[in-house]
Every structure is written in C-alpha cells, then in structure tokens.
Structure 1
C-alpha cells in the first residue's frame, strides 16, 4: 500500500489471518516448532568452550584494520603470493573494509593474479585456449548478435570491450614475442 496522509488501517487479528491464510500462525505454538528447545536459555550445547581456541598461525594472515584479532578459525588453502599478494596485503593493512580503496585494491590484485596465470599457461605445453575456455563457442547457437543487442541489457555500453579484455593479453604476448623474434633475427 502506498504511503498516504490517511491513518493506516489496523492490522487484522490473528484469528482473521488464520481464517484467511491457510497455515498462518503454524509456528505460534512452541510445541509445533522444531527449533523450540534450542531457543531456550541454559540449554547444554555440548561445546566445551565459550570461544573456540585460536587456530595456530605459522605466517602472517590477512586481517582488516577494523578487527582487533583474527577469527579463531581461518582458511590457509590459498596464501598470498607474489605481486598480487602484496597488493592484497596493502589493501588489508591500509584501508578499512568500508573504503572503496580496499575493494579496488583487492580487485586489482585479482586481475594481476589472473594475468600471471595467463602468462604461466603460455609457458606450458598446453597453454589456455581463449576460444574454447572463454565461453565464446557457447553463444554460437543461441542468437549471439540478437542477445547482445536486445533492449534492457545493462552491459550494452561496454560490450565492445569484451573481446579486448578476453583476447587482449594474448594479443599483447603475441606482439611481444614477435618483437623479440624480430630483434633476435636482426642481431644475427
């Protein structure tokens, strides 16, 4: 109901709602609520702690500046590494999570990590294939042109950049490799 200057009508009674809406108020009786016993204070949970003991940390972990300490349990599967790790650490050490700079640095760190992964894949026997692994072939049978140009798409303004973003790193490496090869040939 839109806001008006009229006084709002009174809320219907529980009996009126129960008669009008099937199942309304099914959880009013505590006996019918499956979580009811756990909602009572003083229930023994079986936990032997008020706060879990601190997980040992063998290295430096990320912690936002607004938090006084690390959480008792934290993940260690992907430690920070390289240039992207330094960028992320700068975000955590310098800026609060409420500041845009914190999140922008985390995004930049992610992009630097992705670029490093692309470069590392070029040095392997089976480098990434931008055609099959970017989803371009998935659009082929699903009206690719019409779906990109339809009205109401939010990303229509920047869709011209998509090929540059996906293929740009590969084109840059190819140009760089060509320049290196030309320079080697000219030095001989």
Structure 2
C-alpha cells in the first residue's frame, strides 16, 4: 500500500520472476550490492512518528490519477481548477492514465487555455497584460539588449526571431479577428 511503512505483497512469486526475467534479483544478496555498508535500516532515525500521515482536508474535488486509489495525504491547493482549462484538466485525469501521451498533451493544452482565459479576464476587468514590460522589449533598447544577443557562444541565437512571434502572436491574431469582426459589422449596416 502506498504511503505506509508496510511492504506490499508481490503479485508474482519471486521464483517465477527469476525464471521469467533474466537477471531478476541479482542485487538481493548483500555481498553483491556495493551500497550495503552505507545502508542502515533504522526506522527511528527518520523522525517519522506515524505510519500513515494525517489527511489534508479537500476543499473541492481534486484531480487524481486513475492509477492511484486515493490522493496523497498532502497536496497543493494554490490553483483550483476553473473554467474551460479546469474542465480539460479534470477530463485528462478522469479519462487517461499518466502513462498515456494524451494525458500530458491535454494538461499542456489546459495550460495554454488558462493563459488565454487569464488574458481575456484581465482585459475584461480593465487590467490587460503590459506586454512591453512583461516581455522585456524595453530592456532590448535600454540595457544593451541587441549587443548581448549578438555575442559569441549564444545557444539561443537561432530561435530569437521566434521570441517576438510567440510573445506578440496571440495579440496580433486577436487584433486581426477584432478588425475582421468590426469590418463585417460595418458591411452589414450598409
């Protein structure tokens, strides 16, 4: 069982594992293990005074991998899932194993959706992102940005032109969509 000091029973007997997997159990004999002199089993030395820790209270349903029977006793609570990005995260945990690429791709997509949601929310609240300050564009002109980019031995010289596209791309696409919507609305009025 996870998170306890008990060692779980092996689902397959040791003799069957040795017969089926070449080299299985090669390090079971202490004479064959180089780390044995440093290994000292002393449960009292860890300072742990419990067998299973006290469980943290869940304030909302947490994401939990389908491989685990329950949540870890302690978990992070800084970013509760919200909006479309939260729904994508919940779906990734509910539907796919952590061993599947779909699980991780959905979590990456949820992060991108969360960024878009945050930008739209900030814009609607009247506090949009300050792209000039947050992307360091001003520092390019005031802190020898161009000179530092052209120095020798910079590994990231190849992708530097893409930095501007990645940082400003979503804003340019949004401006283009807004322009097209306004233009279409004006045409309909005529």
Q: Same fold (TM over 0.5)?
A: yes
Q: In the aligned structure 1, how far is the partner of 2:79 from the partner of 2:71? A: 16
Q: In the aligned structure 1, how far is the partner of 2:166 from the partner of 2:73? A: 40
Q: Scaled by the length of structure 2, what TM-score is found?
A: 0.64
Gaps of 5+ in 1: 1-38
Q: In the aligned structure 2, how far is the partner of 1:129 from the partner of 1:43? A: 52
Match runs of 1:165-184 below 5 Å: 165-184=166-185
Larger Rg: 1
Deviations 1:22-50 (A, max 9, x none): xxxxxxxxxxxxxxxxx965479594x42
Q: Scaled by the length of structure 1, what TM-score is found?
A: 0.64
Question: Is contact 2:140-2:146 (8 Å) kept?
Answer: no
Q: In the aligned structure 2, how far is the partner of 1:44 from the partner of 1:115? A: 45
1:95 aligns with 2:102: no
How many residues align structurally?
148
Partner of 2:151: 150
Q: In the aligned structure 2, how far is the partner of 1:134 from the partner of 1:44? A: 46
Gaps of 5+ in 2: 1-40
